[in-house]
Amino acid sequence: MTIDGLLQLHTLRAGAPGAVPLVLLHGFPLDHRMWFDVTPLLAGEPWVLAPDLPGFGTSPTGPDVAQTVGGSGPSIEVMADGVAATLRAAGVDRAVVAGLSMGGYVAMALVERHPELVAGLALLDTKATADAEQARARRLEIAGTVEIEDTIEAVLGMRSALLAPAHRTGRPDLVERLEAWIRDQGPDGVAWAQRAMAARPDRSAVLAAFDGPSVVVVGEFDELSPPEVAREMVGLLSDAELVVVPAAGHMTTIENPEPVAAALTGLLGRVRD
């Protein structure tokens, strides 16, 4: 969608505009629906904006957003600039920004590139470090595969890896939801995002410089961004709380949404105090 000549990300909106909004940035290879179990549990019906990141859901593609915000090639920075432009078009000049995994990478890029926008930061099941060489090579290989095959089959296996081991067999409903959401994404968006994540830098110094309130949330059984990685981020941040979500893996928002909603509600309160 284009408003005033600016390309907008498709954005789920809830609550009444007014106070500092909560911006929710989804993980890979998903879209805003991964927040659906959390938003009804937020206390006080806050203003919520949950964009689909470039190339996901019904948002414009990464290359189209890059053209609009002035970036070149797949990058987390283009995603962050697209989010910033969308927020500003919605009249937002300060927000509590929460990102899960890939959404966390984008949230950290927002802190770096648009610090005035980020009044509070929630990092869920994510990491500040860049990929190791092997992980980067694997992402580029997957990007090539989904493009050549023209399907997202190569990332479908993530539907189990995203969950706690007990949920992979014990919660077929979660596996099915993830599969449906992943199948709704396109190969071009998946490939672009894999290349963007492969290119991302270490943002540990960005966290160390952030002086607003923050919360780091991690699933007890997250194997992709484990609790020790979350503790390292808490150590870097100056005003951070740690919330370890019981019985959850990487997808805390659907595996155990109550503690996630409580953590986000608490952060909104700290920003408004």
**Which residues lie near ligand MLT (CB under 6 A)?**
27-28, 101-102, 197, 224, 250
Least separation, in Å, of the C-beta of 259 and ligand MLT?
18
Number of Cβ within a 10 Å radius of residue 2: 9
DSSP state of 53: P
Least separation, in Å, of the C-beta of 18 and ligand MLT?
30
Least separation, in Å, of the C-beta of 101 and ligand MLT?
3
Least separation, in Å, of the C-beta of 169 and ligand MLT?
20
Question: In this complex, which beta carbon is closest to ligand MLT, that of residue 8 or of residue 194?
Answer: 194
Burial of 97 (0-12, 13-18, 19+ CB in 10 A): buried
Question: In this complex, which beta carbon is closest to ligand MLT, that of residue 159 or of residue 250?
Answer: 250
How far is it, in rounded angstroms, from Cα 95 to Cα 171? 34
Question: In this complex, which beta carbon is closest to ligand MLT, that of residue 28 or of residue 221?
Answer: 28
Number of Cα atoms under 13 Å in the Cβ half of residue 207? 29
Question: In this complex, which beta carbon is closest to ligand MLT, that of residue 199 or of residue 224?
Answer: 224
How far is it, in rounded angstroms, from Cα 134 to Cα 154? 17
Question: In this complex, which beta carbon is closest to ligand MLT, that of residue 31 or of residue 112?
Answer: 31
How far is it, in rounded angstroms, from Cα 86 to Cα 92? 9
Question: In this complex, which beta carbon is closest to ligand MLT, that of residue 159 or of residue 213?
Answer: 159
Least separation, in Å, of the C-beta of 68 and ligand MLT?
23
How far is it, in rounded angstroms, from Cα 54 to Cα 268? 26
How far is it, in rounded angstroms, from Cα 120 to Cα 138? 33
How far is it, in rounded angstroms, from Cα 105 to Cα 230? 13
How far is it, in rounded angstroms, from Cα 110 to Cα 123? 12
Least separation, in Å, of the C-beta of 254 and ligand MLT?
12
